C-alpha cells in the first residue's frame, strides 16, 4: 500500500492556522523535475531537545496581569501538546534581564557600591519568588510534564565586575571562585523551588555589555573557561547534574570565543554544550563547528522570529546542528512592552508613539488597558508548525535545502515509529510548488505565499540520496561582499600605550562596489566596546581588490586605543556607511586575540 502525505499549513495573514490539508496519495518516485525536494533518512544528524520561549520579567508581568482562569488559557495555548503549541523548553533568568517592566534591576546578591560579599551571606532568590517566576515555572511543568528549563545570567552582581555595576563592564577574574559558588547556589535554589534546571549559561551574550544600559557583563573566553572549571568542581562536590552551556551569543564572534574554548582540552572537558543566538553572522558557522567537534551538542537559545522569512532562520539553524530553539520573548502588551532596553524606560509604550503592531514579534499579547483580552499572533501558528510536530528525540536527517527564493526545508525522523516530518517554508509573495520525495515515493506539494507547512509521511522503499537529485537553483544577481582579512596594531604592545589600528578589507563578491562609496571599519574590544573607527571614500573596488583602512575617526577625542593589560579580542566590522544593506552580513566581522603585558 502506498503511503500518503499529510500536510498542516499556516500562513502570515492567518487564513491558515494549523490547518490540515487533504491527504495526498504518494506515487512511486519517478520525477526528474528540478523542483524536487528529497529526504534521505539513511543519514541521521542531531537529535532534538525541544522548542519554547523565555520568561523575562516583561513576560511574567503581562501574564500575571491576567486573572487566574485567563492565565491558564494562555499557558495551555503555549505548552499543552494536544490543545496548544506544545512548548517543552523554557529559559529562565537568574534575576533581571535586559527586558524588564521597570529599571529596578537586581541580582541574587546585590551590595552597596564598593562593598563585597565574598561569603555570599546576602544571597537570596526572594525577589524572583515575589514576582512569581517560580510559581509560573511550576505551573508550566504541570501543564506539560516534559518541559525542561535553561537558567541564564544577564546581570552578574556588580561587585563581581571591574566597574562594580550590574550594567556595562567586564567580569573581574578575582571573583571566579565566588561566582562559581553563586551559580551553584542559584541552581540549588531553583531546585528547592521545584524547578530543576536541565542546563545553565553563566552569561547571556558573553561579548555584550557596553551597548545598552541594562544588566550585562563581558567575558573573554579565558575568563569563562576559568568560571566553568570552577563551576564544574562545585557541581561535582554537590552532586549536581545540571549541564553547563557556554557562550550564549551570536555566530559572528564564535571563531574568537567558541572555537578556542573547544580546542582547549580543559575547557572542553568542563562544558557540556554550546549555546548560540542568531542576531549576527550565519548558522553555517555553527554547522562548521559541529563538523569539527561532532561530539559537542549545539543549541539555539535566543532569537526573535515572527515573520515567515524569519521562520527560515529556524530552518537554517536546524540544518546546521541546532538541537533546540528558544523564542525571545513570549508575551507582551499590544505595544510590545512594557520593557527596558538601551536604558530607555518603557521603550515601546504608547506615550512614545509606538503602534500596536510592535507585538508581532511575540506569540501572545494582551491589551495594556484590558489584560484579560489576549490574542494569538500569526507568529504563534507559524512557530507552531515546528513546536507542535517536532518532538524531543526526533533526529534531523538529510534533505534538500531548497532555496529561499522558492521553498526551503528541514526534515526529521521519529525513531519510535519511523515517520518522517518535513517543515517547508515559502517566504515568497507567490505560491510555490515542489515534488516532495521520501524513500521510493513522492507527492506534489503547493504552498501558498508566505506560508509554513509541516508534512508527515511514512518512508517506504529505497531512499534517493540528496546529492543524486536535481534541485532548483535560482541564479542570483551579482553582488559585492566586503570582508575583513587582517587586523594590525601599530605601537608598543604594553599596558597604557596608545595603539593605532588598521584593517585590510577585500571585495570577495562578484561585482564592484559603488564608485566613491564610504567604507567604514569599526574596531571593538572584547565584543561590543567601541575603541576606534576608520572611514574612507573609496573608488570602486573590483572583485578580489583589497584596501587598507586606518583608524582615523575619533571616538571621543582619540583615534587610538590605550592598551589594557591582559588577554583581549579585537574585532573589526566592515560596512558601507553606518549600515550593511548591500553587503553579506555573514562575513563582515573578524577578530584577533592579543595579550598585553
The domain locations on the chain are: 4-45+397-468, 50-331+379-387, 482-596
Q: Which three cell numbers stand for residue 183?
A: 551559580
State the maximum Cα–Cα separation within the chain, in Å, rounded to a whole number. Answer: 77
Q: Given a cut of 60, is residue 20 above it in pLDDT?
A: yes
Strand order in the sheet with 589-596: 529-538, 517-525, 566-576, 589-596
* CA neighbor of 427 nearest in space, from 33, 11, 5: 11
Mean pLDDT (the chain) is: 92
Class of domain 4-45+397-468: mainly beta
Which residues lie below 8 Å from residue 145, measured CB to CB, with a gap of 6+?
A: none
Nine cell digits for residue 537: 571614500
306 or 189, which is more confident: 189
Provide mean pLDDT across the span 347-369.
64
Q: What is the CA radius of gyration of the chain?
A: 25
- CA end-to-end span of the chain: 73
pLDDT of residue 346: 43
pLDDT-based confidence at residue 579 (cuts at 50, 70, 90):
very low
Taking residues 426-447, what's their average pLDDT?
A: 96
pLDDT of residue 558: 78
pLDDT at 468: 73
Q: Do domains 4-45+397-468 and 482-596 have the same CATH topology?
A: yes
pLDDT of 470 reads 66
DSSP 542: P
The alpha-helical segments, DSSP class H, found in 238-358 are 258-263, 265-270, 284-292, 308-319
Does domain 50-331+379-387 sit in CATH 3.30.300.30? Answer: no
Does domain 482-596 sit in CATH 2.60.40.10? yes
Residue range 561-571: mean pLDDT, rounded: 95
For the cut 80, the answer to whether the pLDDT of residue 401 exceeds it is: yes
Residue 205 clears pLDDT 90, i.e. is over it: yes
Whether residue 465 is predicted with pLDDT greater than 70 in this model: the reply is yes
Q: In this predicted model, what pLDDT tens digit does every residue of 251-265 receive, in sequence order?
A: 999 999 999 999 999
Cα-Cα-Cα-Cα dihedral sign, residues 22, 25, 26, 27? negative
Q: What is the mean pLDDT of residues 481-507?
A: 95
Q: Provide the pLDDT for residue 345.
A: 46
Residue bearing the bigger pLDDT, 395 or 209: 395
Q: Do 331 and 365 form a contact (C-beta atoms < 8 A)?
A: yes
Amino acid at each position: 500500500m502506498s503511503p500518503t502525505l499529510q500536510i498542516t499549513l499556516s500562513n502570515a495573514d492567518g487564513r491558515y492556522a494549523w490547518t490540515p490539508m487533504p491527504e495526498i496519495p504518494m506515487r512511486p518516485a519517478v520525477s526528474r523535475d528540478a523542483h524536487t525536494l528529497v529526504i534521505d533518512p539513511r543519514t541521521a544528524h542531531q537529535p532534538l531537545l525541544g522548542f519554547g520561549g523565555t520568561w523575562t520579567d516583561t513576560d511574567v508581568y503581562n501574564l500575571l496581569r491576567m486573572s487566574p482562569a485567563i492565565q491558564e488559557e494562555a499557558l495551555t495555548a503555549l505548552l499543552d501538546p494536544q490543545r496548544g503549541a506544545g512548548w517543552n523548553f523554557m529559559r529562565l533568568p537568574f534575576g533581571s534581564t535586559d527586558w524588564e517592566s521597570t529599571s529596578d534591576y537586581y541580582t541574587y546578591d546585590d551590595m552597596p557600591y564598593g562593598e563585597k560579599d565574598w561569603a555570599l551571606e546576602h544571597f537570596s532568590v526572594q525577589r524572583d519568588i515575589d514576582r512569581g517566576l517560580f510559581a509560573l515555572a511550576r505551573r508550566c511543568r504541570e501543564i506539560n510534564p516534559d518541559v525542561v528549563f535553561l537558567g541564564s545570567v544577564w546581570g552578574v552582581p556588580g561587585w563581581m565586575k571591574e566597574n562594580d555595576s550590574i550594567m556595562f563592564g567586564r567580569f573581574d577574574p578575582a571573583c571566579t571562585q565566588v561566582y562559581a559558588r553563586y551559580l551553584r547556589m542559584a541552581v540549588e535554589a531553583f531546585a528547592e523551588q521545584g524547578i530543576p534546571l536541565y542546563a545553565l549559561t553563566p552569561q547571556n551574550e558573553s561579548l555584550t555589555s557596553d551597548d545598552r544600559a541594562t544588566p550585562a557583563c563581558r567575558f573573554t573566553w579565558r575568563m569563562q573557561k576559568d568560571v566553568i572549571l570552577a563551576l564544574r568542581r562545585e557541581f561535582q562536590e554537590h552532586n549536581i547534574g545540571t549541564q553547563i552551556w557556554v557562550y550564549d551569543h551570536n555566530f559572528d564572534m564564535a571563531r574568537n570565543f567558541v572555537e578556542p574554548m573547544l580546542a582547549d582540552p580543559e575547557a572542553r572537558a568542563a562544558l557540556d554544550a554550546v549555546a548560540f543566538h542568531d542576531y549576527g553572522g550565519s548558522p553555517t558557522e555553527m554547522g562548521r563547528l559541529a563538523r569539527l567537534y561532532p561530539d559537542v551538542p549545539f543549541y539555539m537559545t535566543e532569537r526573535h522570529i515572527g515573520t515567515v522569512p524569519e521562520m527560515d532562520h529556524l530552518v537554517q539553524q536546524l540544518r546546521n546542528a541546532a538541537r533546540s530553539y528558544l523564542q525571545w520573548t513570549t508575551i507582551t502588551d499590544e505595544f510590545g512592552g512594557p520593557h527596558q532596553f538601551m536604558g530607555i524606560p518603557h521603550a515601546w509604550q504608547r506615550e512614545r508613539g509606538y503602534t500596536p503592531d510592535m507585538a508581532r514579534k511575540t506569540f501572545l499579547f494582551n491589551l495594556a488597558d484590558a489584560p484579560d483580552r489576549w490574542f494569538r499572533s500569526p507568529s504563534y501558528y507559524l512557530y507552531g508548525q515546528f513546536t507542535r510536530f517536532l518532538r524531543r528525540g526526533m533526529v534531523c536527517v538529510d534533505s534538500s535545502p531548497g532555496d529561499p527564493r522558492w521553498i526551503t526545508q528541514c526534515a526529521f525522523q521519529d525513531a519510535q515509529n519511523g515517520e518522517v516530518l518535513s517543515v517547508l517554508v515559502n517566504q515568497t509573495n507567490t505560491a510555490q510548488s515542489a515534488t516532495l520525495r521520501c524513500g521510493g515515493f513522492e507527492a506534489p506539494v503547493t504552498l501558498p505565499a508566505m506560508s509554513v507547512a509541516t508534512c508527515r509521511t511514512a518512508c517506504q522503499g529505497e531512499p534517493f540520496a540528496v546529492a543524486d537529485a536535481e534541485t532548483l537553483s535560482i541564479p542570483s544577481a551579482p553582488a559585492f561582499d566586503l570582508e575583513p582579512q587582517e587586523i594590525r596594531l601599530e605601537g608598543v604592545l604594553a599596558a597604557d600605550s596608545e595603539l593605532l589600528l588598521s584593517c585590510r578589507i577585500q571585495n570577495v563578491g562578484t561585482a564592484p562596489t559603488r564608485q566613491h562609496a564610504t567604507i567604514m571599519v569599526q574596531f571593538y574590544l572584547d565584543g561590543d566596546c567601541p575603541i576606534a573607527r576608520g572611514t574612507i571614500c573609496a573608488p570602486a573596488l573590483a572583485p578580489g581588490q583589497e584596501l587598507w583602512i586606518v583608524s582615523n575617526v575619533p571616538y571621543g577625542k582619540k583615534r587610538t586605543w590605550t592598551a589594557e593589560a591582559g588577554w583581549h579580542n579585537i574585532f573589526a566590522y566592515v560596512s558601507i556607511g553606518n549600515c550593511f544593506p548591500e553587503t553579506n552580513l555573514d562575513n563582515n566581522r573578524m577578530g584577533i586575540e592579543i595579550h598585553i603585558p
